[in-house]
Structure 1
């Protein structure tokens, strides 16, 4: 097995750099270090492994503060396996610095992440901290709670129930985000022309309630991605992009983004798609597959999420991706997701108005989708189609902007756009 975010190999214990990795594992998700394996994967073992285990234990106890939970065992090949658990008393420091894993490398955390580790160690989140603004009004929130929950007025008891206010600390950051006016960044929404150099329209929604941001985005979306079609004597509203998917994507961006990052959510509107980029990667402890499969057990902003849940903007926590995908269940081109260290991007494609494909076309499309990148000859073998028939289907899918091709000559490959 190759080194990765949760696994590191060390030929010996001489350099002491592994102590940074122990800090990283204790701060983020845990992991293993196996001593006695060279960088190329060759197993060399450790001489006098029992003595080495004692030295390792002493180094950890003397160097990492606070001492994390770990276990040490000797392998049959005289390797030493160190397993480190993620700890509750963060930050775990080596020489006064906290570390994290980035792929298979170990790096020092920045100031922002260090602050987050301190909050985690105190079992707090950024949204729970007292707001710098305490003179807050909640007209928009009150209006929506009246409509959704039937309350008569938004009083102090309800604010306490929603965990937005306490007598000891006043309003928190979650309350400020829901207030009519605040100091937080918002959403930057841009409609582009034929290129990103051509800006056709732009609106910025900031320093306002996240509820107002959501509704403002939907209004602008409806202007450019909805139209009416006359069928007989009736007018039928057509969504170029499912409004449910867009609404869900924006609600999720607001609820799951990192609000301690002073950056806006970016919504880029194109003729064939919408791209939504929100600041902050995945919360600590959540992997890519868990996120995409709706298995989110850790919420970055649970107080804000609870309010959105009560207002029915989101359903069960963590199901947003599944709901977006469900909106595209009958579409050929599906939403795509890019997860970066410091941001998440959702791409919602426009649904073509003439999406009728033959069974053969659909079969070839499914092959490309399953394989990721595939050549024409591979498609012919898997689909059982001839060269001319396959080329016709590929050209149709290219024309509809459902797939793309890369390379030239015999090196041409096809993949989902």
Structure 2
């Protein structure tokens, strides 16, 4: 067992030559009461809501890493959450020989999104990792900002992982991508489903990355949210107009100029960059936006 854990990066030799758990091994296989000794702010939270009418409504089901009735580590959390969100996915009947295939690209994309959050989270940060499921969307928020430009992550091919050993462990169960293709794959699957495109929002101080996965078709969203869609387009046009007059600006400057909250501004900036209307340059707090040449 120790040899196996050593080979996958869950254990390593200390200065005395003794095998000890690594930080990744502790997060992956430890108990919550052991993990918080190294990561004092470590907290995993899964919530289910039975309606989307009011997002502030109290959850209808929940489990957290500190409850004491399960290990609280990220390995068990991954499987518990995935089994909960996967049970609502309709599986088409498909045979491979005489065996029924119950796995679909959507299942794989959900596993990728969940693993990405757990792999790239900054567990030393003071914010918790929270996953919320509504009937028409899933929100995955993890502590820590992107280590590369968000638009590079959306295009794919560039990767700068925070936790290399965690990636290796998830790769061993065929989950997670090393080549920076996770987010583009998720977007492709959502497009094939005819659903609204996933949204990524970064916030800072403390750093946080939020992935919103709509589970509704575009035409359904347009029927129920026509007014909000027009407001969204107006806000985007305000941003584009500001960047026409101001060749380069930060998200804070843009938010102040158009009168929006910073989180909403970042969401619109991500959408505009994904559509090719603007370009994001720089990383994290030094990031600036300009119109596409």
How would you bin the TM-score normalised by the shorter chain?
0.5 to 0.7
For the residues of structure 2 that align with 1:312 and 1:337, how far apart are their CA atoms?
24
For the residues of structure 2 that align with 1:166 and 1:238, how far apart are their CA atoms?
35
Q: Which aligned pairs between 1:14-413 and structure 2 lie closer than 5 A?
A: 154=1, 156-168=2-14, 170-182=20-32, 183-184=35-36, 185-192=42-49, 193=51, 194-195=53-54, 196-206=56-66, 207-223=71-87, 225-227=88-90, 242-283=106-147, 286-330=148-192, 331-341=194-204, 342-352=207-217, 398-399=222-223, 401=225, 404-406=229-231
Judging changes above 3 Å, is the alpha-carbon distance between structure 1 residues 328 and 211 closer, same or farther for their aligned structure 2 residues? same
Name the SS of the counterpart of 2:229 in structure 1.
Answer: strand
Name the SS of the counterpart of 1:267 in structure 2.
Answer: strand
Q: Is the 8 A contact 1:244 1:327 kept in 2?
A: no
Judging changes above 3 Å, is the alpha-carbon distance between structure 1 residues 205 and 296 closer, same or farther for their aligned structure 2 residues? farther
Q: Is the 8 A contact 1:325 1:334 kept in 2?
A: yes
User: Once superposed, what is the RMSD of the aligned Cα atoms?
Assistant: 3.6
Please state which structure has a larger fraction of its residues in strand.
Answer: 1
Q: Is the 8 A contact 2:195 2:215 kept in 1?
A: no
String of CA shifts for 1:173-224, please: whole Å, max 9, x gaps: 111012142424343121233312242222224553322111100122134x
Bigger-Rg structure (1/2): 1
Superposed displacement of residue 293, structure 1? 2.0
Judging changes above 3 Å, is the alpha-carbon distance between structure 1 residues 211 and 400 closer, same or farther for their aligned structure 2 residues? same
Judging changes above 3 Å, is the alpha-carbon distance between structure 1 residues 186 and 397 closer, same or farther for their aligned structure 2 residues? closer
Superposed displacement of residue 164, structure 1? 2.6
Superposed displacement of residue 237, structure 1? 8.0
For the residues of structure 1 that align with 2:109 and 2:115, how far apart are their CA atoms?
10
Taking structure 1 as the reference length, the TM-score comes to 0.44
Judging changes above 3 Å, is the alpha-carbon distance between structure 1 residues 300 and 333 closer, same or farther for their aligned structure 2 residues? same
Q: Is the 8 A contact 1:265 1:277 kept in 2?
A: yes
For the residues of structure 2 that align with 1:340 and 1:221, how far apart are their CA atoms?
25
Tell me how many residue pairs correspond in the alignment.
211
Judging changes above 3 Å, is the alpha-carbon distance between structure 1 residues 260 and 323 closer, same or farther for their aligned structure 2 residues? same
Please state which structure has a larger fraction of its residues in helix.
Answer: 2
Query: Which runs of 5 or more residues in structure 2 are unaligned?
Result: 37-41, 94-99, 238-267, 272-293
